[in-house]
Protein backbone atom coordinates (compact mmCIF):
# COMPACT_ATOMS: atom_id res chain seq x y z
CA UNK A 1 0.00 0.00 0.00
CA UNK A 2 1.20 3.49 -0.73
CA UNK A 3 2.51 5.53 2.17
CA UNK A 4 0.34 8.33 0.82
CA UNK A 5 -2.81 6.42 1.74
CA UNK A 6 -1.99 5.89 5.41
CA UNK A 7 -4.77 8.15 6.59
CA UNK A 8 -7.88 6.20 7.53
CA UNK A 9 -10.09 8.34 5.38
CA UNK A 10 -8.78 6.62 2.22
CA UNK A 11 -10.27 3.26 3.24
CA UNK A 12 -13.72 4.81 3.34
CA UNK A 13 -13.18 6.53 0.00
CA UNK A 14 -11.89 3.30 -1.52
CA UNK A 15 -14.96 1.35 -0.50
CA UNK A 16 -17.20 3.95 -2.17
CA UNK A 17 -15.32 3.66 -5.46
CA UNK A 18 -15.34 -0.11 -5.32
CA UNK A 19 -19.08 -0.28 -4.52
CA UNK A 20 -19.98 2.26 -7.19
CA UNK A 21 -17.71 0.61 -9.74
CA UNK A 22 -16.25 3.98 -10.58
CA UNK A 23 -12.54 4.65 -10.84
CA UNK A 24 -11.06 7.21 -8.49
CA UNK A 25 -7.62 8.65 -7.80
CA UNK A 26 -5.91 10.89 -5.28
CA UNK A 27 -3.97 13.48 -7.13
CA UNK A 28 -2.10 16.78 -6.97
CA UNK A 29 -0.77 18.46 -3.87
CA UNK A 30 -1.55 15.61 -1.47
CA UNK A 31 0.51 13.09 -3.42
CA UNK A 32 3.31 15.56 -4.12
CA UNK A 33 3.64 16.70 -0.53
CA UNK A 34 3.46 13.20 0.86
CA UNK A 35 6.32 12.05 -1.38
CA UNK A 36 8.31 15.14 -0.40
CA UNK A 37 7.59 14.40 3.25
CA UNK A 38 6.11 17.84 3.55
CA UNK A 39 3.82 18.45 6.46
CA UNK A 40 0.99 20.51 5.22
CA UNK A 41 -1.02 22.28 7.90
CA UNK A 42 -4.15 22.17 5.73
CA UNK A 43 -5.00 18.70 4.59
CA UNK A 44 -6.45 19.24 1.14
CA UNK A 45 -7.20 16.04 -0.72
CA UNK A 46 -7.99 16.27 -4.42
CA UNK A 47 -9.82 13.32 -5.91
CA UNK A 48 -10.33 12.71 -9.62
CA UNK A 49 -13.26 10.51 -10.56
CA UNK A 50 -13.74 8.90 -13.95
CA UNK A 51 -17.40 9.86 -13.97
CA UNK A 52 -19.36 12.35 -11.94
CA UNK A 53 -17.33 13.97 -9.16
CA UNK A 54 -20.46 15.50 -7.69
CA UNK A 55 -22.30 12.18 -7.40
CA UNK A 56 -19.36 10.44 -5.80
CA UNK A 57 -18.90 13.31 -3.35
CA UNK A 58 -22.47 12.79 -2.13
CA UNK A 59 -22.00 9.02 -1.84
CA UNK A 60 -18.71 9.45 0.02
CA UNK A 61 -20.18 12.00 2.38
CA UNK A 62 -23.06 9.67 3.16
CA UNK A 63 -20.63 6.88 3.98
CA UNK A 64 -18.24 8.95 6.11
CA UNK A 65 -20.84 10.91 8.04
CA UNK A 66 -24.40 11.37 6.77
CA UNK A 67 -24.59 14.77 8.47
CA UNK A 68 -21.77 16.30 6.43
CA UNK A 69 -22.60 19.31 4.33
CA UNK A 70 -21.46 18.87 0.71
CA UNK A 71 -20.72 22.06 -1.23
CA UNK A 72 -21.42 21.66 -4.91
CA UNK A 73 -19.93 23.91 -7.59
CA UNK A 74 -22.04 22.88 -10.52
CA UNK A 75 -20.36 25.23 -12.99
CA UNK A 76 -16.99 23.64 -12.28
CA UNK A 77 -18.34 20.10 -11.97
CA UNK A 78 -16.78 19.83 -8.53
CA UNK A 79 -18.01 19.15 -5.01
CA UNK A 80 -16.26 19.20 -1.67
CA UNK A 81 -16.80 18.52 1.99
CA UNK A 82 -14.82 18.88 5.18
CA UNK A 83 -14.26 16.03 7.57
CA UNK A 84 -12.14 16.62 10.66
CA UNK A 85 -8.92 18.25 9.42
CA UNK A 86 -9.54 17.22 5.81
CA UNK A 87 -10.97 19.19 2.94
CA UNK A 88 -11.81 16.72 0.22
CA UNK A 89 -12.57 17.89 -3.28
CA UNK A 90 -14.02 15.69 -6.02
CA UNK A 91 -13.88 16.40 -9.70
CA UNK A 92 -14.81 14.34 -12.74
CA UNK A 93 -11.87 13.71 -15.07
CA UNK A 94 -12.04 16.30 -17.79
CA UNK A 95 -10.64 17.61 -20.97
CA UNK A 96 -10.29 21.32 -21.44
CA UNK A 97 -9.96 23.73 -24.28
CA UNK A 98 -9.27 27.41 -23.83
CA UNK A 99 -10.26 30.60 -25.47
CA UNK A 100 -7.33 33.05 -25.72
CA UNK A 101 -9.13 35.87 -23.98
CA UNK A 102 -9.89 34.13 -20.72
CA UNK A 103 -8.71 31.63 -18.13
CA UNK A 104 -12.06 29.86 -18.22
CA UNK A 105 -11.94 26.69 -20.26
CA UNK A 106 -14.59 24.85 -22.20
CA UNK A 107 -14.84 21.54 -20.38
CA UNK A 108 -15.89 18.05 -21.46
CA UNK A 109 -15.57 14.64 -19.85
CA UNK A 110 -12.26 12.92 -20.41
CA UNK A 111 -9.93 10.14 -19.38
CA UNK A 112 -7.52 10.26 -16.46
CA UNK A 113 -4.74 11.14 -18.84
CA UNK A 114 -6.79 13.99 -20.36
CA UNK A 115 -7.24 15.26 -16.85
CA UNK A 116 -3.57 15.02 -15.98
CA UNK A 117 -2.35 16.80 -19.09
CA UNK A 118 -4.38 19.93 -18.28
CA UNK A 119 -2.62 20.26 -14.93
CA UNK A 120 0.12 22.76 -14.26
CA UNK A 121 3.30 20.82 -13.48
CA UNK A 122 4.41 17.25 -13.78
CA UNK A 123 4.98 17.08 -10.01
CA UNK A 124 1.23 17.75 -9.63
CA UNK A 125 0.17 15.04 -12.08
CA UNK A 126 0.93 11.97 -9.96
CA UNK A 127 -2.19 9.93 -9.32
CA UNK A 128 -2.76 7.07 -6.88
CA UNK A 129 -5.55 4.59 -7.48
CA UNK A 130 -8.22 4.24 -4.80
CA UNK A 131 -10.05 1.20 -6.27
CA UNK A 132 -9.58 -2.05 -4.42
CA UNK A 133 -8.10 -4.01 -7.36
CA UNK A 134 -5.33 -1.46 -7.92
CA UNK A 135 -5.32 0.25 -4.51
CA UNK A 136 -2.18 2.33 -3.99
CA UNK A 137 -0.87 1.96 -7.54
CA UNK A 138 0.85 5.03 -8.92
CA UNK A 139 0.01 6.44 -12.33
CA UNK A 140 2.68 8.72 -13.61
CA UNK A 141 2.33 9.28 -17.36
CA UNK A 142 4.32 12.54 -17.30
CA UNK A 143 7.30 11.34 -15.24
CA UNK A 144 6.37 13.50 -12.29
CA UNK A 145 8.19 11.23 -9.84
CA UNK A 146 11.44 11.83 -11.66
CA UNK A 147 10.96 15.59 -11.55
CA UNK A 148 10.07 15.39 -7.87
CA UNK A 149 13.34 13.60 -7.19
CA UNK A 150 15.33 16.05 -9.26
CA UNK A 151 13.44 19.01 -7.79
CA UNK A 152 12.33 20.28 -11.16
CA UNK A 153 9.22 22.18 -12.19
CA UNK A 154 8.16 21.32 -15.70
CA UNK A 155 4.82 21.54 -17.49
CA UNK A 156 3.29 18.27 -18.72
CA UNK A 157 2.57 19.79 -22.15
CA UNK A 158 4.48 22.29 -24.25
CA UNK A 159 4.90 25.10 -21.71
CA UNK A 160 3.66 27.71 -24.18
CA UNK A 161 0.34 25.90 -24.27
CA UNK A 162 0.12 25.34 -20.51
CA UNK A 163 0.94 28.97 -19.68
CA UNK A 164 -1.04 30.51 -22.47
CA UNK A 165 -4.13 28.46 -21.49
CA UNK A 166 -3.94 29.69 -17.90
CA UNK A 167 -1.28 32.33 -17.22
CA UNK A 168 -1.83 32.05 -13.45
CA UNK A 169 0.33 28.94 -13.77
CA UNK A 170 3.35 31.23 -14.32
CA UNK A 171 2.86 32.62 -10.83
CA UNK A 172 2.27 29.12 -9.49
CA UNK A 173 5.57 27.98 -11.04
CA UNK A 174 7.44 30.69 -9.20
CA UNK A 175 5.51 30.10 -6.00
CA UNK A 176 6.24 26.36 -6.03
CA UNK A 177 9.87 27.04 -6.89
CA UNK A 178 10.18 29.34 -3.86
CA UNK A 179 8.19 27.12 -1.50
CA UNK A 180 9.80 23.82 -2.42
CA UNK A 181 13.20 25.10 -3.46
CA UNK A 182 12.75 23.59 -6.93
CA UNK A 183 14.33 24.74 -10.19
CA UNK A 184 12.10 25.77 -13.05
CA UNK A 185 13.21 23.72 -16.05
CA UNK A 186 14.85 25.80 -18.77
CA UNK A 187 12.15 25.61 -21.46
CA UNK A 188 9.44 26.11 -18.90
CA UNK A 189 11.27 29.18 -17.58
CA UNK A 190 11.84 30.62 -21.05
CA UNK A 191 8.18 30.17 -21.77
CA UNK A 192 7.17 32.18 -18.71
CA UNK A 193 9.35 35.04 -19.93
CA UNK A 194 7.81 34.65 -23.37
CA UNK A 195 4.22 34.64 -22.11
CA UNK A 196 4.64 37.17 -19.28
CA UNK A 197 2.27 39.69 -20.90
CA UNK A 198 -0.54 37.16 -20.65
CA UNK A 199 -0.60 37.57 -16.88
CA UNK A 200 -2.82 40.57 -17.65
CA UNK A 201 -5.83 38.30 -18.17
CA UNK A 202 -5.49 36.95 -14.60
CA UNK A 203 -7.46 38.71 -11.87
CA UNK A 204 -5.37 40.52 -9.24
CA UNK A 205 -7.10 38.44 -6.54
CA UNK A 206 -5.53 35.27 -7.93
CA UNK A 207 -2.13 36.90 -8.33
CA UNK A 208 -2.06 38.22 -4.77
CA UNK A 209 -2.87 34.75 -3.40
CA UNK A 210 0.31 33.50 -5.03
CA UNK A 211 2.33 36.57 -4.01
CA UNK A 212 1.25 36.15 -0.40
CA UNK A 213 2.27 32.50 -0.51
CA UNK A 214 5.67 33.64 -1.77
CA UNK A 215 5.79 36.21 1.04
CA UNK A 216 5.24 33.42 3.56
CA UNK A 217 8.18 31.36 2.26
CA UNK A 218 11.45 31.09 4.13
CA UNK A 219 13.24 33.21 1.54
CA UNK A 220 10.72 35.22 -0.49
CA UNK A 221 13.57 36.98 -2.33
CA UNK A 222 13.97 33.88 -4.48
CA UNK A 223 10.44 34.29 -5.75
CA UNK A 224 10.72 38.01 -6.34
CA UNK A 225 13.97 37.57 -8.25
CA UNK A 226 12.24 35.06 -10.51
CA UNK A 227 9.24 37.34 -10.93
CA UNK A 228 11.65 40.07 -11.98
CA UNK A 229 13.73 37.89 -14.26
CA UNK A 230 10.72 36.63 -16.17
CA UNK A 231 9.46 40.16 -16.81
CA UNK A 232 6.33 39.65 -14.69
CA UNK A 233 7.32 42.19 -12.06
CA UNK A 234 6.95 45.27 -14.22
CA UNK A 235 3.45 44.14 -15.13
CA UNK A 236 2.12 43.04 -11.75
CA UNK A 237 4.08 45.33 -9.42
CA UNK A 238 5.64 48.26 -11.30
CA UNK A 239 6.45 50.21 -8.11
CA UNK A 240 8.77 47.43 -6.99
CA UNK A 241 10.25 47.02 -10.46
CA UNK A 242 11.02 50.72 -10.41
CA UNK A 243 13.40 50.25 -7.50
CA UNK A 244 15.88 48.27 -9.57
CA UNK A 245 19.24 49.61 -10.57
CA UNK A 246 22.06 51.83 -9.50
CA UNK A 247 22.84 55.37 -10.62
CA UNK A 248 26.33 56.79 -10.48
CA UNK A 249 27.14 60.49 -10.58
CA UNK A 250 30.63 61.89 -10.04
CA UNK A 251 31.75 58.42 -9.09
CA UNK A 252 29.15 58.15 -6.33
CA UNK A 253 26.67 55.28 -6.55
CA UNK A 254 23.62 54.51 -4.45
CA UNK A 255 22.66 50.95 -3.59
CA UNK A 256 20.19 48.90 -5.64
CA UNK A 257 17.01 49.51 -3.70
CA UNK A 258 15.22 46.48 -5.13
CA UNK A 259 17.93 44.09 -3.96
CA UNK A 260 18.21 45.90 -0.64
CA UNK A 261 14.44 45.58 -0.05
CA UNK A 262 14.61 41.86 -0.81
CA UNK A 263 17.43 41.45 1.71
CA UNK A 264 15.44 43.28 4.37
CA UNK A 265 12.48 41.04 3.57
CA UNK A 266 14.55 37.87 3.92
CA UNK A 267 16.06 39.20 7.14
CA UNK A 268 12.69 39.82 8.71
CA UNK A 269 11.41 36.42 7.60
CA UNK A 270 13.95 34.83 9.91
CA UNK A 271 12.29 36.64 12.82
CA UNK A 272 8.57 36.70 12.12
CA UNK A 273 5.66 34.96 10.40
CA UNK A 274 3.61 38.14 10.47
CA UNK A 275 2.67 38.61 6.82
CA UNK A 276 2.07 42.34 7.29
CA UNK A 277 5.41 42.96 8.92
CA UNK A 278 6.91 41.14 5.94
CA UNK A 279 5.02 43.46 3.59
CA UNK A 280 6.27 46.47 5.54
CA UNK A 281 9.82 45.20 5.09
CA UNK A 282 9.36 44.83 1.34
CA UNK A 283 7.75 48.25 1.00
CA UNK A 284 9.69 50.36 3.50
CA UNK A 285 11.79 52.09 0.81
CA UNK A 286 9.16 52.04 -1.95
CA UNK A 287 9.34 55.82 -2.41
CA UNK A 288 13.11 55.93 -2.87
CA UNK A 289 12.90 56.18 -6.67
CA UNK A 290 10.41 59.04 -6.41
CA UNK A 291 12.47 61.00 -3.89
CA UNK A 292 15.92 60.32 -5.33
CA UNK A 293 18.16 63.37 -5.74
CA UNK A 294 21.83 63.88 -6.27
CA UNK A 295 23.26 66.68 -4.18
CA UNK A 296 26.83 67.50 -5.23
CA UNK A 297 28.06 68.28 -1.71
CA UNK A 298 26.54 65.29 0.06
CA UNK A 299 25.73 62.68 -2.58
CA UNK A 300 22.49 60.73 -3.01
CA UNK A 301 19.49 61.72 -0.97
CA UNK A 302 16.04 60.18 -0.60
CA UNK A 303 14.65 62.89 1.57
CA UNK A 304 11.09 62.22 2.80
CA UNK A 305 10.91 58.72 1.28
CA UNK A 306 9.40 57.31 4.46
CA UNK A 307 6.58 59.85 4.38
CA UNK A 308 5.88 59.57 0.65
CA UNK A 309 6.22 55.78 0.93
CA UNK A 310 3.50 55.56 3.53
CA UNK A 311 1.31 57.74 1.28
CA UNK A 312 1.89 55.32 -1.63
CA UNK A 313 0.71 52.26 0.33
CA UNK A 314 -3.09 52.66 -0.12
CA UNK A 315 -2.73 52.84 -3.89
CA UNK A 316 -0.45 49.82 -3.99
CA UNK A 317 -2.76 47.84 -1.69
CA UNK A 318 -5.77 48.78 -3.82
CA UNK A 319 -4.10 47.70 -7.05
CA UNK A 320 -2.75 44.46 -5.60
CA UNK A 321 -6.07 43.71 -3.88
CA UNK A 322 -4.50 43.63 -0.47
CA UNK A 323 -6.95 44.53 2.31
CA UNK A 324 -7.73 48.21 2.79
CA UNK A 325 -8.15 47.90 6.53
CA UNK A 326 -6.12 48.11 9.73
CA UNK A 327 -3.47 45.82 8.19
CA UNK A 328 -2.82 48.48 5.58
CA UNK A 329 -2.68 51.18 8.24
CA UNK A 330 -0.17 49.08 10.15
CA UNK A 331 2.07 48.80 7.07
CA UNK A 332 1.71 52.55 6.46
CA UNK A 333 2.67 53.30 10.02
CA UNK A 334 5.78 51.13 9.93
CA UNK A 335 6.90 52.59 6.60
CA UNK A 336 6.33 56.09 7.95
CA UNK A 337 8.26 55.47 11.16
CA UNK A 338 11.08 53.30 9.86
CA UNK A 339 13.78 55.94 10.18
CA UNK A 340 12.82 57.17 13.62
CA UNK A 341 14.73 54.63 15.72
CA UNK A 342 17.83 55.49 13.67
CA UNK A 343 17.39 59.12 14.62
CA UNK A 344 17.04 58.07 18.25
CA UNK A 345 20.25 56.10 18.03
CA UNK A 346 22.30 58.88 16.51
CA UNK A 347 21.48 61.99 18.44
CA UNK A 348 21.71 62.64 22.11
CA UNK A 349 18.30 61.23 22.87
CA UNK A 350 15.84 63.31 24.79
CA UNK A 351 13.13 61.57 26.78
CA UNK A 352 10.52 63.48 24.83
CA UNK A 353 11.74 62.05 21.49
CA UNK A 354 11.44 58.57 22.94
CA UNK A 355 7.99 59.32 24.35
CA UNK A 356 6.87 60.64 20.98
CA UNK A 357 7.93 57.48 19.19
CA UNK A 358 6.25 55.30 21.82
CA UNK A 359 3.08 57.33 21.44
CA UNK A 360 3.11 57.18 17.63
CA UNK A 361 4.11 53.54 17.27
CA UNK A 362 2.00 52.31 20.18
CA UNK A 363 1.97 48.55 20.50
CA UNK A 364 3.72 48.20 17.14
CA UNK A 365 6.95 49.61 18.51
CA UNK A 366 8.49 46.12 18.88
CA UNK A 367 7.66 45.33 15.25
CA UNK A 368 9.18 48.66 14.25
CA UNK A 369 12.43 47.78 16.03
CA UNK A 370 12.43 44.41 14.28
CA UNK A 371 12.05 46.18 10.92
CA UNK A 372 14.90 48.57 11.74
CA UNK A 373 17.22 45.72 12.64
CA UNK A 374 16.29 43.85 9.47
CA UNK A 375 17.07 47.05 7.55
CA UNK A 376 20.77 46.72 8.40
CA UNK A 377 22.13 45.05 5.28
CA UNK A 378 25.69 46.34 5.33
CA UNK A 379 28.31 43.78 4.38
CA UNK A 380 30.75 45.48 6.71
CA UNK A 381 30.55 43.40 9.90
CA UNK A 382 31.96 46.12 12.15
CA UNK A 383 29.38 48.57 10.88
CA UNK A 384 26.62 46.00 11.33
CA UNK A 385 27.64 45.32 14.93
CA UNK A 386 27.76 49.02 15.64
CA UNK A 387 24.24 49.60 14.27
CA UNK A 388 22.87 46.63 16.18
CA UNK A 389 24.47 47.86 19.37
CA UNK A 390 22.89 51.29 18.78
CA UNK A 391 19.47 49.70 18.39
CA UNK A 392 20.02 47.72 21.58
CA UNK A 393 20.52 51.04 23.35
CA UNK A 394 17.36 52.43 21.71
CA UNK A 395 15.40 49.37 22.86
CA UNK A 396 16.62 49.91 26.43
CA UNK A 397 15.71 53.53 26.31
CA UNK A 398 12.23 52.65 24.99
CA UNK A 399 11.75 50.14 27.80
CA UNK A 400 12.95 52.58 30.44
CA UNK A 401 10.66 55.42 29.35
CA UNK A 402 7.70 53.10 28.85
CA UNK A 403 8.05 51.82 32.42
CA UNK A 404 8.12 55.38 33.69
CA UNK A 405 5.55 57.10 31.47
CA UNK A 406 3.34 54.34 29.93
CA UNK A 407 3.06 55.97 26.50
CA UNK A 408 2.44 52.89 24.34
CA UNK A 409 -1.27 52.81 25.02
CA UNK A 410 -1.64 56.46 25.70
CA UNK A 411 -5.06 57.28 27.16
CA UNK A 412 -5.46 60.99 27.72
CA UNK A 413 -5.71 61.59 31.48
CA UNK A 414 -8.40 64.16 30.73
CA UNK A 415 -10.74 63.04 27.98
CA UNK A 416 -13.10 64.82 25.63
CA UNK A 417 -16.19 64.47 27.79
CA UNK A 418 -14.43 65.94 30.80
CA UNK A 419 -13.40 68.96 28.72
CA UNK A 420 -16.96 69.37 27.40
CA UNK A 421 -18.52 69.33 30.84
CA UNK A 422 -15.82 71.49 32.43
CA UNK A 423 -16.57 74.38 30.04
CA UNK A 424 -20.19 73.55 29.22
CA UNK A 425 -19.37 73.46 25.49
CA UNK A 426 -20.39 71.28 22.58
CA UNK A 427 -18.03 68.80 20.97
CA UNK A 428 -15.92 70.67 18.46
CA UNK A 429 -12.68 72.38 17.59
CA UNK A 430 -11.90 73.64 21.13
CA UNK A 431 -11.97 70.13 22.56
CA UNK A 432 -9.38 69.07 19.99
CA UNK A 433 -7.14 72.04 20.76
CA UNK A 434 -7.16 71.29 24.48
CA UNK A 435 -6.62 67.55 23.99
CA UNK A 436 -3.64 68.22 21.72
CA UNK A 437 -2.15 70.67 24.19
CA UNK A 438 -2.38 68.13 27.00
CA UNK A 439 -0.86 65.35 24.88
CA UNK A 440 1.98 67.56 23.65
CA UNK A 441 2.75 68.73 27.18
CA UNK A 442 2.96 65.13 28.38
CA UNK A 443 5.18 64.06 25.46
CA UNK A 444 7.41 67.08 25.95
CA UNK A 445 7.69 66.30 29.66
CA UNK A 446 6.15 69.63 30.70
CA UNK A 447 3.53 67.86 32.81
CA UNK A 448 3.39 64.26 34.08
CA UNK A 449 0.94 61.78 32.55
CA UNK A 450 -1.51 62.32 35.45
CA UNK A 451 -5.06 63.56 35.85
CA UNK A 452 -4.48 66.46 38.24
CA UNK A 453 -1.74 68.10 36.16
CA UNK A 454 -3.70 67.54 32.96
CA UNK A 455 -6.87 69.12 34.43
CA UNK A 456 -4.89 72.16 35.50
CA UNK A 457 -3.48 72.54 31.99
CA UNK A 458 -6.97 72.08 30.54
CA UNK A 459 -8.23 75.06 32.54
CA UNK A 460 -5.26 77.22 31.57
CA UNK A 461 -5.54 76.32 27.91
CA UNK A 462 -9.32 76.87 27.96
CA UNK A 463 -8.84 80.35 29.33
CA UNK A 464 -6.29 81.08 26.64
CA UNK A 465 -8.80 80.31 23.91
CA UNK A 466 -11.59 82.25 25.58
CA UNK A 467 -13.49 79.56 27.45
CA UNK A 468 -14.88 79.95 30.96
CA UNK A 469 -15.23 77.00 33.29
CA UNK A 470 -18.77 76.09 34.39
CA UNK A 471 -17.74 75.99 38.04
CA UNK A 472 -14.85 77.92 39.38
CA UNK A 473 -11.71 75.79 39.46
CA UNK A 474 -10.73 74.61 42.91
Stretch that binds Mg ion, among 43-51, 209-217, 227-235, 385-393 (CB under 5 A): 43-51
Least distance (Å) between residue 84 CB and Mg ion: 17
Choose which of 24, 29, 144, 159 interacts with ligand ATP (CB under 6 A).
29
Please give, one letter per residue, the 3-state secondary structure of the chain.
Answer: CCHHHCCCHHHHHHHHHHHHCCCEEEECHHHHHHHHCCCCCCEEEEEEECCCHHHHHHHHHHHHCCCCCCEEEHHHCEEEEEECCEEEEEEECEEEECCCCCCCCEEEECCHHHHHHCCCCHHHCCEEECCHHHCCCEECCCCHHHHHHHCEECCCCCHHHHHHHCCHHHHHHHHHHHHHCCEECHHHHHHHHHHHHHHHHCCHHHHHHHHHHHHCCCCHHHHHHHHHHCCCHHHHCHHHHCCCCCCEECCEECCCHHHHHHHHHHHHHCCCCCHHHHHHHHHCCCCHHHHCEEECCCEEECCCHHHHHHHHHHHHHHHHCCCCCHHHHHHHHHHHHCCHHHHHHHCCCCHHHHHHHHHHHHHHHHHHHHHHHHCCCCCCHHHHHHHHHHHHHHHHHHHHHHHHHCCCCCCCCCCHHHHHHHHCCCCCHHHHHHHHHHHHHHHCCCCCCCHHHHHHHHHHHHHHCCCCCCCCCC
Q: Which is nearer to ligand ATP, 28 or 341 (CB)?
A: 28
Q: Which is nearer to ligand ATP, 105 or 469 (CB)?
A: 105
Q: Which is nearer to Mg ion, 103 or 327 (CB)?
A: 103
Q: How many residues bind Mg ion (CB under 5 A)?
A: 2
Q: Which is nearer to ligand ATP, 117 or 254 (CB)?
A: 117
Given ligand ATP, Mg ion, none, residue 188, with its beta carbon under 5 to 8 Å by kind, binds: none
CA R_g for the chain:
29
Q: Which is nearer to ligand ATP, 44 or 444 (CB)?
A: 44
Residue nearest to ligand ATP (CB): 29
How far is the C-alpha of 435 from the C-alpha of 443, rounded, in Å?
12
Q: Which is nearer to ligand ATP, 54 or 368 (CB)?
A: 54
Q: Which is nearer to Mg ion, 43 or 397 (CB)?
A: 43
Given ligand ATP, Mg ion, none, residue 124, with its beta carbon under 5 to 8 Å by kind, binds: ligand ATP
Q: Which is nearer to ligand ATP, 161 or 311 (CB)?
A: 161
Instruction: Decide if residue 397 touches ligand ATP (CB under 6 A).
Output: no
Instruction: Decide if residue 29 touches Mg ion (CB under 5 A).
Output: yes
Beta-carbon contacts of 115 under 8 Å, excluding residues fewer than 6 positions away, are 48, 91, 93, 94, 95
Q: Which is nearer to Mg ion, 32 or 340 (CB)?
A: 32
Given ligand ATP, Mg ion, none, residue 221, with its beta carbon under 5 to 8 Å by kind, binds: none
Binding mask 41-80 for ligand ATP (x = CB under 6 A): ---x-x----------------------------------
Strand order, beta sheet including 127-129: 71-73, 78-83, 86-92, 43-49, 24-27, 127-129, 138-139
Tell me the CA distances in angstroms from 135 to 86, 230, 306, 400, 422, one per residue in order.
20, 41, 60, 66, 81
Stretch that binds ligand ATP, among 119-127, 272-280, 326-334, 435-443 (CB under 6 A): 119-127
Least distance (Å) between residue 278 CB and Mg ion: 22
Least distance (Å) between residue 47 CB and Mg ion: 12
Given ligand ATP, Mg ion, none, residue 96, with its beta carbon under 5 to 8 Å by kind, binds: none
Stretch that binds ligand ATP, among 11-19, 117-125, 296-304, 430-438 (CB under 6 A): 117-125
Binding mask 137-176 for ligand ATP (x = CB under 6 A): -----------------------------x-xx-------
Given ligand ATP, Mg ion, none, residue 119, with its beta carbon under 5 to 8 Å by kind, binds: ligand ATP
Instruction: Decide if residue 241 touches ligand ATP (CB under 6 A).
Output: no
Around 312, how many Cα atoms within 13 Å sit in the side-chain half-sphere? 21
Choose which of 23, 117, 119, 461 interacts with ligand ATP (CB under 6 A).
119
Stretch that binds ligand ATP, among 116-124, 149-157, 331-339, 460-468 (CB under 6 A): 116-124
Q: Which is nearer to ligand ATP, 176 or 258 (CB)?
A: 176
Choose which of 20, 33, 44, 87 interacts with Mg ion (CB under 5 A).
44
Q: Which residues bind ligand ATP (CB under 6 A)?
A: 28-29, 44, 46, 119-120, 124, 166, 168-169
- Write out the residues near Mg ion by the rule CB under 5 A: 29, 44
Amino acid sequence: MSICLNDKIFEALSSVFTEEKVRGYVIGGWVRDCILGRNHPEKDIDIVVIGSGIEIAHKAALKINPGINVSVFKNFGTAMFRHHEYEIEFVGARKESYDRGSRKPVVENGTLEDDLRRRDFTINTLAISLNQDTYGDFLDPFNGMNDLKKKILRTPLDPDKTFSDDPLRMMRAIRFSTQLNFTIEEKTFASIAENAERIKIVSPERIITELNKIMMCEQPSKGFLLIEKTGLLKIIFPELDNMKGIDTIEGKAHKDNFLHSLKVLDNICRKTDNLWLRWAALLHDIAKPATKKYIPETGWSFHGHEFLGSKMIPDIFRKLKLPLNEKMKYVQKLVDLHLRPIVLSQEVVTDSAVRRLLFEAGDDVDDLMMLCEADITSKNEAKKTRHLENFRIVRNKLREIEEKDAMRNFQPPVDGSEIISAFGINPGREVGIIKNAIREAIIEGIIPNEHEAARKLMLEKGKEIGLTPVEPAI
